[in-house]
């Protein structure tokens, strides 16, 4: 492959790396290693078509290999394609069930969904993205992976400062950056690189870090990461941050073979930067990445939520109760949030979220339409098979036709008393089906059809 590194880029890193620089340039010209994560939120999550014979050392759910984006494993949220180096970021953050966590620059959702898998649907995870189109992609990936405890927002980091100071136990800033570490996966990005662009990214990152500091509770953990080699966006920014906020301390990160210490000589000779971590593609089987873990000194403040009213009308409650009684074994949902015609099982009822642009608050259950309730695909992607009264497993032919938008015609009248049934393929739930008179009508979202 031909990445066409600029002479300005080569000169910069020759000055920084000396004799090692040609090895880095050569590595950038080689093919990337593909990888994927499996999703422990799904039942039987290791039962896959993809091979699990090449595990990634630093995560229990990561594997080297290719995936098929049209496979049932992908469509039903059992797997997520992710670059190997990037998988270590959520492992370093180490979110726990019950914590309050913020992924401040979250699209397209690789790290948000990884964090969610470690939280086991307990606690609150907020995935934020300032760009609306990218925030929608983030929301769709959260949906596909069957995640229940995430609020997806479309805001600037500063918007959170109006109500969420000292709110989060853990914060990740996977900062928008110059992307040098991803040049071989995205050769087109090389065209946009310049030293001026690097410096503008570094300046923007400082502002994001300033917001993250205010939002982090005392005693909380802050992980900063980038997919760039640039000292300006990495060691220099961390040195700036630590000098500005003396109550922030770097925490040592465990380093696996091929991972390297951060470079104090690239950050005003701050020796604590050796506790940070770098991955270069000439030494590590992945793309370029920088990770630094920090902790805020102090005792956590109490950040009690200000509860919203669910907004459920009596008649809508009755319609939803009727749907549950007909189609589920029992009601697995304890809280509701009714927004316009849509019903959610919310990740949070904290009224502070009313001040933000929220794209998704927890699990979207469905929509009220003319005296009926229609379930959303998010609900079936998050549900346990044992919670459904009826599941119909499609054949190869039926599955292919259903993905194209066709209904399923049954030869015999089945014993279906239910209007809504769960559809699966290879025993993996992926859609609702609406049954009527020997026909399972297609309700698969048009945007997902193949």
Residue environment code for 412-421, b if the CB has 16+ CB neighbours within 10 A, otherwise e: eeeebebbbb
**This prediction's pTM:** 0.96
Q: Is residue 357 part of a domain?
A: no
Q: What gap in Å lies between CA 380 and CA 363, rounded to an integer?
A: 10
Tell me if residue 177 is catalytic: no
Domain coverage including residue 161 = 7-296
107 annotated binding-site participant: yes
pLDDT at position 187 is 86
pLDDT at position 394 is 96
The answer to whether residues 256 and 396 belong to one domain is no
Q: Is residue 319 part of a domain?
A: no
The answer to whether residues 395 and 278 belong to one domain is no
pLDDT at position 320 is 94
111 annotated binding-site participant: yes
Q: List the CATH number of the domain containing 446.
A: 3.10.450.720
Strands 100-103 and 168-174: parallel
Strands 420-425 and 391-394: parallel
296, 311, 331: which is the final residue of a domain?
296
242, 275, 296: which is the final residue of a domain?
296
The answer to whether residues 292 and 394 belong to one domain is no
105 annotated binding-site participant: yes
pLDDT at position 188 is 85
Q: Is residue 302 part of a domain?
A: no
The answer to whether residues 59 and 161 belong to one domain is yes
109 annotated binding-site participant: yes
Nearest in space to 213 (alpha carbons), one of 202, 224, 204? 224
Q: Is residue 442 part of a domain?
A: yes
428 annotated binding-site participant: no
Q: What gap in Å lies between CA 22 and CA 330, rounded to an integer?
A: 63
pLDDT in tens, the chain (450 residues): 678 899 999 999 999 999 999 999 999 999 989 999 999 999 999 999 999 999 999 999 999 999 999 999 999 999 999 999 999 999 999 999 999 999 999 999 999 999 999 999 999 999 999 999 999 999 999 999 999 999 999 999 999 999 999 999 999 999 999 999 999 988 888 998 999 999 999 999 999 999 999 999 999 999 999 999 999 999 999 999 999 999 999 999 999 999 999 999 999 999 999 999 999 999 999 999 999 999 999 887 776 566 666 667 888 999 999 999 999 999 999 889 998 899 999 999 999 999 999 999 999 999 999 889 999 999 999 999 999 999 999 999 999 999 999 999 988 877 777 789 999 999 999 999 999 888 999 999 999 998
Q: Is residue 106 part of a domain?
A: yes
The answer to whether residues 19 and 167 belong to one domain is yes
108 annotated binding-site participant: yes
The answer to whether residues 286 and 394 belong to one domain is no
The answer to whether residues 278 and 401 belong to one domain is no
Q: Is residue 385 part of a domain?
A: no
364 annotated binding-site participant: no
Q: Which of 177, 201, 227, 292 is catalytic?
A: 227
| Residue 334 CB-density burial (10 A; 0-12 exposed, 13-18 middle, 19+ buried) | exposed
The answer to whether residues 253 and 402 belong to one domain is no
pLDDT at position 370 is 86
The answer to whether residues 146 and 255 belong to one domain is yes
Q: Is residue 310 part of a domain?
A: no
Q: How many domains does the chain have?
A: 2
Structure tokens at 135: 């925030």
Residue with tokens 């496979």: 71
129 annotated binding-site participant: yes
240, 262, 296: which is the final residue of a domain?
296
φ, ψ at 217 (rounded to 5°)? -70, 155
Q: What gap in Å lies between CA 278 and CA 273, rounded to an integer?
A: 10
In eight-state DSSP terms, residue 388 is B
Q: Is residue 28 part of a domain?
A: yes
Q: List the CATH number of the domain containing 75.
A: 3.40.50.150
């Amino acid at each position: 492959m031909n990445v066409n590194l600029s002479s300005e880029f080569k000169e910069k890193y020759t000055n920084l790396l000396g004799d090692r620089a040609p090895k880095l340039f050569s590595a950038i010209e080689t093919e990337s290693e593909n990888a994927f994560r499996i999703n422990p939120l799904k039942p039987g999550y290791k039962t896959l078509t993809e091979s699990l014979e090449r595990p990634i050392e630093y995560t229990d759910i990561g594997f080297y290999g290719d995936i098929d984006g049209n496979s049932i494993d992908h469509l039903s949220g059992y797997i997520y394609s992710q670059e190997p180096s990037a998988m270590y970021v959520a492992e370093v953050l180490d979110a726990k069930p019950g914590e309050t966590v913020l992924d401040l620059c979250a699209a397209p959702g690789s790290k948000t969904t990884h964090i969610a898998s470690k939280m086991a649907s307990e606690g609150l995870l907020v995935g934020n993205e300032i760009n609306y189109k990218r925030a929608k992609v983030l929301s769709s990936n959260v949906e596909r992976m069957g995640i229940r405890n995430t609020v997806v927002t479309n805001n600037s980091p500063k918007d959170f400062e109006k109500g969420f100071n000292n709110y989060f136990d853990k914060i990740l800033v996977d900062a928008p950056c110059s992307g040098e570490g991803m040049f071989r996966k995205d050769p087109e990005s090389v065209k946009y690189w310049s030293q001026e662009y690097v410096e503008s990214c570094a300046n923007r990152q400082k502002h994001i870090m300033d917001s993250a500091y205010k939002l982090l509770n005392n005693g909380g953990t802050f992980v900063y990461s980038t997919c760039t080699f640039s000292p300006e966006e990495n060691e220099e920014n961390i040195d700036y941050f630590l000098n500005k906020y003396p109550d922030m301390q770097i925490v040592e990160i465990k380093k696996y073979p091929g991972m390297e210490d951060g470079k104090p000589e690239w950050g005003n000779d701050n020796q604590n930067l050796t506790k940070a971590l770098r991955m270069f593609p000439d030494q590590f089987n992945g793309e370029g990445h920088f990770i630094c873990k920090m902790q805020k000194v102090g005792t956590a403040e109490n950040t009690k939520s200000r509860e919203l009213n669910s907004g459920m009308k009596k008649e809508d409650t009755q319609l939803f109760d009727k749907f549950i009684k007909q189609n589920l074994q029992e009601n697995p949902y304890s809280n509701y949030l009714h927004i316009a015609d849509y019903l959610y099982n919310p990740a949070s009822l904290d009224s502070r979220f009313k001040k933000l642009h929220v794209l998704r608050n927890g699990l979207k259950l469905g929509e009220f339409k003319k005296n009926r309730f229609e379930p959303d695909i998010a609900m079936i992607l998050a549900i346990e098979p044992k919670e459904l009264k009826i599941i119909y497993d499609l054949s190869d032919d039926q599955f292919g036709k259903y993905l194209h938008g066709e209904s399923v015609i049954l030869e015999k009248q089945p014993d279906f008393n239910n209007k809504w049934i769960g559809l699966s393929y290879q025993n993996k739930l992926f859609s609702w089906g609406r049954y009527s008179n020997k026909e399972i009508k297609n309700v698969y979202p048009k945007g997902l059809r193949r």
